[in-house]
Structures are given as structure tokens and as C-alpha cells.
């Protein structure tokens, strides 16, 4: 046999790189059409990215708020009797007392932790540094209810609490303002003429719901606050400004809320028909409701993104079908010179995937740019993980494969004889 006739690469296969190169080449030939076709996917993917970023950011923000507040927490505050916006009775500022705390603790076993709260503003001095901040007089339970943990040192001792000793736990901001990077534990802070010993520093919690700095404050035993810091205000003995309590199980929250109201009315000897002189609030519930609203918004946005991807995918399918019709002769020629129907199918599938992946990449870029813009122009919290971008890329490939399959299948089924005759 003449060596010129030796067949080569009998088992050869179309290489994946060649496949991609051919797909890119074919799409470049009609680049404007390709770009317009990919636009649907570009917008769809960008929408997914922005949606997930904003949804995720809002969710993370709310999670942080809940954690900062302390989960399953109920707040009790005095209900000021007002007429036309003016507080009528100064005594109504302080309707809560330590005996209320005892009554609640005894009568409602579902309460896991409870603390009275006194608070005010004061100026702290350490060496040359001074800082004006809020002080809180609380029981040890308070820290568990509000999910505060100690970063350094420890809580004051029960003896210090009982003896109203000048010991203080400080927030991260206060620590930074007064001590900078130097050791804070064991140091003293002067308030008025009294020296307070720093026994602990709380771990940072960040910004609260009202935009306030949760780390800007000091915490002292309730009696220390009452006797040493509040003294000059002349508050009636045993009075409290607030009561906070924690419930072990979330499903008990509503029940405890109602029970607390009942116990307090009893304690305050309120007759039926008289208004409450206190208000019971469940902040966790408020935040949870907002959580659900966000979830719903995320679902709606996901639907919108899904629809736009569907439209984008149909656009790809449409153009690929047009392309198959337009290139019938070319397909016939390729089949005649050795492309298998499988090669043809892979080739058109590759074009659809390159279209959708190209659109996907542009969409990711657009989405990231829009996310960045949102971050700069608005207060909206943003959280975008790399897994979101990866997911978007996978969705783009999937769109191409799904909507490219039918046109590719049609191309592969063409009869080379018929196709060449066109």
C-alpha cells in the first residue's frame, strides 16, 4: 500500500481546546449578536449577585443585632404617664423596684435570668485621659441576658456586689479611650472623687440597632451604681430604671411577657381599668419580624433573578436555533469531512455555553460593580461570599447547557446530504 494512504489517528478525537476555540471563533464572527444574546444572562447574573449581597448583608446585620441584644430577652421599662407629651408625675419615672425583680423571679419559673438596671452618664478619668460615657448598674445575670462576654479579666465578685464596692467592668471603646494599648486590668478609673478598680473588659459587640456604640459604657454592681453614682439624684430607695430578663426557651417568650405584666400589676396594686405603669417589650420579636420580611424579600428577588435568567436562556436558545439554520451548509461540510454528529452537537453546545459563561462573567463583573456602588452610595449592609460568585458561574454554565442542548441536538441530527445541498 502506498504510504500516502496510511490512515492517521484512527481513534482520534476532537480536542476540548479546539472545541472552545471554534466556539469563540464562531461567536466572534457575529460579536454584536453574541453580545446582545448574552445580555439576558448578564442582567440575570448581575441581579442574582446584587440580590444575594444585599439580602445576605441585611440578614447578617439582623443576626448581629439579635446577638447584640441577647436572644429571648424581654425588657421592662416604666410607662410614663403623659398628657400632651409632658410627663405628669416625676414619680412615674421610677415605677419599678427591686421587689418587682424578686416577685418576677419567684412567680415565673420560666425566667432563666433577671436583672434590674440603673443607668446614667458620667465622666471617667485615668491619668491624663478622660472620657464621658454611660454607666450601667446591673446584676451579674445581665451579662448573660445581653450576650456580653468578657475579653479580659472577670466579673466583680458577689462580695463586691453585696458591699457596693467600686469595681467596674468596661467596654472595649472605653478601654481604648482610657488605656489605649496598655494594660487595663487592675488599673483604676476615677469618677468624681472615687477610684474604681477595673476588673474586666467586655468583648466588642459593635454598633447597635439605633446606631449607638454598644462598647461605649461601663458596668458596675447595681448597689454600687445606686449608692455611689446615682446618690445625688435622690432616687427613692430600691427603685430601678429598667428590668431585663432572659427566657430559656423562645416559645415561652409570649407567655412570660403576659405573666410579667400580670405579676407587675399585682405588685403595683393596679386595679382593673387602670393603665399599666410599666411597659413590657420583646425586642427579639421585633427583630425577628424584620428578619422574616427580609427573607420574603430575598425570595421575591430570587424569583425575579430566576425569571431574568430564564428569559436570557431562551434568548440563547432562540439565537442558537437561528444559527443552526443559517449554518446548515457549514454543518453539512463539517459532517462530510469527518465531524461526527456528536462533534457537531458538542460544538453548538460549546457555543451556547461560551455565550452563557461569557454573559455570566460579565454579569458577575457588573454585579460586583453594582454591589460596590450600593456600598458607597447607601447605608445598605452588604455581604457577598465567594460561594455566591461561584454559584452564579455554575448557574451560567447550567443555563448554557440546558438551553443550548435542543439547538445542538437539531444541528447534530442534520443529514449531511441534505445540508450540503442547501
Does residue 86 bind another protein (CB under 8 A)? Answer: no
59: part of which helix (H) or strand (E)? helix 31-69
Angle between helices 283-326 and 386-412 (to 10 degrees): 30
Q: Which of 149, 292, 340, 378 binds another protein (CB under 8 A)?
A: 340
Answer for the pair 358, 36: CB distance below 8 angstroms, yes or no. no
CA angle (303 as vertex; 298, 308 as ends), nearest 5 = 125
Does residue 89 bind another protein (CB under 8 A)? Answer: no
Does residue 6 bind another protein (CB under 8 A)? Answer: yes
User: Which residues ranging from 29 to 68 are in contact with another protein (CB under 8 A)?
Assistant: 29
Does residue 25 bind another protein (CB under 8 A)? Answer: yes
Does residue 1 bind another protein (CB under 8 A)? Answer: yes
| Alpha-carbon distances of 397 from 17, 344, 404, rounded to whole Å | 17, 19, 10
Number of residues that bind another protein (CB under 8 A): 34
Does residue 351 bind another protein (CB under 8 A)? Answer: no
Please state, in angstroms and rounded to a whole number, the distance separating the CA atoms of residues 1 and 316.
Answer: 50
Per DSSP, 124 falls in state: E
Tell me which stretch binds another protein (CB under 8 A): 207-215, 239-247, 267-275, 336-344: 336-344
Does residue 180 bind another protein (CB under 8 A)? Answer: no
Q: Which of 153, 341, 381, 398 binds another protein (CB under 8 A)?
A: 341
Residue 316 CB, shortest distance to another protein, in Å, is 21
- For another protein, the closer CB: 8 or 275: 8
- In SS3 terms, 153-171 reads as ECCCCHHHHHCCCCEEEEC
Does residue 10 bind another protein (CB under 8 A)? Answer: yes
317: part of which helix (H) or strand (E)? helix 283-326
Residue 32 CB, shortest distance to another protein, in Å, is 16
Does residue 5 bind another protein (CB under 8 A)? Answer: yes
Residue 359 CB, shortest distance to another protein, in Å, is 23
Please state, in angstroms and rounded to a whole number, the distance separating the CA atoms of residues 34 and 18.
Answer: 20
Does residue 410 bind another protein (CB under 8 A)? Answer: no
- For another protein, the closer CB: 7 or 234: 7
Among candidates 297, 391, 303, 381, which has minimal Cα distance to 63? 381
Tell me which stretch binds another protein (CB under 8 A): 12-20, 68-76, 90-98, 124-132: 12-20
Residue 34 CB, shortest distance to another protein, in Å, is 14
Tell me which stretch binds another protein (CB under 8 A): 63-71, 82-90, 331-339, 373-381: 331-339
Among candidates 69, 55, 191, 188, which has minimal Cα distance to 123? 191
Strands (E), 252-410: 278-281
Please state, in angstroms and rounded to a whole number, the distance separating the CA atoms of residues 35 and 183.
Answer: 61
Q: From the CB of residue 123, how many other CB atoms can be counted at a distance below 10 Å?
A: 11
Does residue 416 bind another protein (CB under 8 A)? Answer: yes
Cell representation of residue 355: 455565550
- For another protein, the closer CB: 315 or 332: 332
Does residue 234 bind another protein (CB under 8 A)? Answer: no
Binding residues (CB under 8 A) for another protein: these are: 1-2, 4-10, 12-15, 18, 22, 25, 29, 329-330, 332-343, 416-417, 420
Amino acid at each position: 500500500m502506498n504510504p500516502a494512504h496510511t490512515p492517521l489517528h484512527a481513534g482520534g478525537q476532537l480536542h476540548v481546546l479546539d472545541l472552545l476555540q471554534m466556539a469563540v471563533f464562531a461567536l466572534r464572527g457575529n460579536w454584536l449578536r453574541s453580545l446582545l444574546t448574552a445580555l439576558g444572562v448578564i442582567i440575570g447574573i448581575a441581579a442574582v449577585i446584587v440580590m444575594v449581597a444585599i439580602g445576605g448583608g441585611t440578614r447578617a446585620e439582623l443576626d448581629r443585632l439579635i446577638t447584640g441584644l441577647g436572644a429571648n430577652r424581654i425588657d421592662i421599662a416604666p410607662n410614663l404617664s403623659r398628657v400632651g407629651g409632658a410627663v405628669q408625675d416625676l414619680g412615674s419615672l421610677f415605677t419599678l423596684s427591686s421587689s418587682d425583680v424578686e416577685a418576677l423571679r419567684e412567680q415565673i419559673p420560666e425566667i432563666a435570668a433577671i436583672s434590674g438596671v440603673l443607668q446614667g452618664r458620667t465622666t471617667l478619668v485615668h491619668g491624663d485621659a478622660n472620657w464621658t460615657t454611660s454607666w450601667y448598674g446591673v446584676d451579674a445575670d445581665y451579662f448573660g441576658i445581653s450576650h456580653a462576654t468578657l475579653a479580659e479579666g472577670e466579673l466583680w465578685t458577689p462580695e463586691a456586689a453585696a458591699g457596693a464596692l467600686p469595681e467596674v467592668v468596661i467596654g472595649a471603646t472605653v478601654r481604648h479611650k482610657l488605656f489605649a494599648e496598655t494594660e487595663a486590668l487592675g488599673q483604676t478609673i476615677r469618677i468624681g472623687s472615687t477610684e474604681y478598680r477595673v476588673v474586666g473588659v467586655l468583648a466588642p459587640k459593635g454598633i447597635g440597632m439605633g446606631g449607638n456604640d454598644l462598647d461605649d459604657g461601663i458596668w458596675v454592681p447595681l448597689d454600687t451604681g445606686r449608692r455611689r453614682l446615682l446618690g445625688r439624684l435622690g432616687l427613692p430607695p430600691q427603685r430601678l430604671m429598667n428590668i431585663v430578663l432572659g427566657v430559656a426557651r423562645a416559645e415561652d417568650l409570649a407567655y412570660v411577657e403576659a405573666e410579667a405584666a400580670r405579676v407587675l400589676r399585682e405588685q403595683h396594686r393596679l386595679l382593673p381599668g387602670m393603665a399599666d405603669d410599666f411597659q413590657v417589650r420583646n425586642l427579639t420579636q421585633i427583630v425577628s419580624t424584620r428578619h422574616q420580611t427580609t427573607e420574603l424579600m430575598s425570595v421575591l428577588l430570587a424569583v425575579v433573578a430566576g425569571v431574568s435568567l430564564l428569559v436570557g436562556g431562551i434568548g440563547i436558545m432562540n439565537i442558537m436555533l437561528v444559527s443552526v439554520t443559517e449554518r446548515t451548509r457549514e454543518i453539512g461540510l463539517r459532517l462530510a469531512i469527518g465531524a461526527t454528529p456528536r462533534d457537531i452537537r458538542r460544538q453548538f453546545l460549546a457555543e451556547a455555553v461560551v455565550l452563557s459563561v461569557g454573559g455570566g462573567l460579565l454579569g458577575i463583573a457588573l454585579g460586583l460593580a453594582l454591589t460596590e456602588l450600593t456600598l458607597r452610595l447607601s447605608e445598605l449592609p452588604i455581604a457577598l461570599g465567594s460561594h455566591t460568585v461561584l454559584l452564579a458561574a455554575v448557574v451560567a454554565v447550567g443555563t448554557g447547557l440546558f438551553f443550548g442542548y435542543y439547538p445542538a441536538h437539531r444541528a447534530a441530527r442534520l443529514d449531511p446530504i441534505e445540508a450540503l445541498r442547501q
